[in-house]
Structure 1
């Protein structure tokens, strides 16, 4: 199977074009975004999105996840030709609220948290790594092809080109030592004050070295729902003060699982003698995230739970929700590769 991935059309640094809708919900959102936000519009009342049969929509499917991604993107770079006034438009926020409600309801059902569950136990469980596994990173380490790596790069670009941004929303929602330590981790993610070392830029370097386009959200149109869901989860946690504990738990889970996963991906890239820029991205995560794990365990999660015990259940929820959506993406990749097809949606 030979990849024919091509670079997107937007200029790097510019706002990307709106992607094609994937169903009634994403069609509804794109219709809003193409309209003039200054023309008075009816604010939908709770339940009105049910006109599109929301209750029957897969909460993790293409339509809802793209619709949510479009709504959240207004808080990041936005889209070419879309008026910035849509970011806080009451009518669109009402729609987003219903989409979030459906997504959150599914997550709480699928990743329940019990009264005795602790963040410390969850983090200990995350640290147990098997040298042998059947997930995507193990496959890529041992037998993955360069084409499969390039597919994974394109799939992950919808996150890595905004890496650390979703978690940054939680900073003003924290206090004291937890806040200071959280910022220390984010400071490293943003390159320690060096623009060329920002992890987003390192991933752009990786994309170019792999012969892929490095434009922001350039592969959004062909990214599967399983790739959008993890990013939406981060955005949701970060944008809601109610879920600040979940945002902390999510970042902790990200950093604890990153070093071993990145090491496996690095080993596979070395086996394939991949370009140095591709290896450098994962080497950086092996080294930096091992330090971040310790900071998050004690100085962020530990301090937050001591200061705000009521947040502990949300920290646990954030960790478990991270694992749930990441496992779904992993399963998507492996299913596609076992069946000998691309992990990306649509034709390449």
Structure 2
């Protein structure tokens, strides 16, 4: 990662822990962080756990990136940091955000979990911010690990200490479970037992999401927010939200985990090439909008489909699961008690409702299903659409 980005890189057991370390280091308690409302709710809770106030940014409807022109001056002037998302690997305007953050003398933090191979303005995503975080659960498929990278190498020792203070001891049981997980998942898929496995998880109370978003539990969340964000305390108070989908996110990695992660990371360039090829194929379909510049190795390609629920159901019938949906946007999900809403929420809501995140490694299968279904493309709303909602109450549908 240091060779790839040209900056110091620190291994962390998860992207979310790396982001927490960065937020605590660069942002004052009570600070306000501009972020995307079309984002994983876990990241929203990481920001809250760090003792900060999320501020939801307006987005561009066509790709879900931050729309800098729609952020009012009053919002810019009250910020303590900007956090990019690079949704599905599509870059946010990092160069322009870097310049604006420099003007305001605030840090730019890049969440590059989906964007380990993406580039913007001729540079890798993750090379613009004061800090950036990467996930190895995505393109490599390691299901563990990540990197915190920093522009100032003099900060490495302090950030390493902060990371180590938050780590929990390695557990043999967790290492064994991690080692067996790929074989168990392959067996379940091979025997076509995925629906039964999910039903069992629900029965045993092991499935933490009944819907796209996890349950907010506002009363408990208010209680957690009253605690002082001392080092580590925030993660303890917000643990039931931050650990969702990854309970070992703070676990000190053992040898088995590190060896497997290293082996998968060594194959990264081949995986990126495969993602790039699939992205190019999906981007040529009627459900994709033209993307300027070189083809990115997107983690997921957000096709824009008029009836996304019907498309998801059709794919499920072919045993293709659609994940990484972020609907509704975080301001609609959490409300003004827990976040500042976007000053222009319409485009984000439209994108969240119509984006169908497709794994580029199965591009051919998805194209076949959508073609057979007769799925119609959705087109982003125009300014006129936004001013005059449709009969369905949603612009441009």
TM-score (norm 2): 0.24
TM-score (norm 1): 0.27
Q: Which has the higher helix share?
A: 1
The structure showing larger relative contact order (alpha-carbon pairs under 8 Å, at least 6 residues apart) is: 1
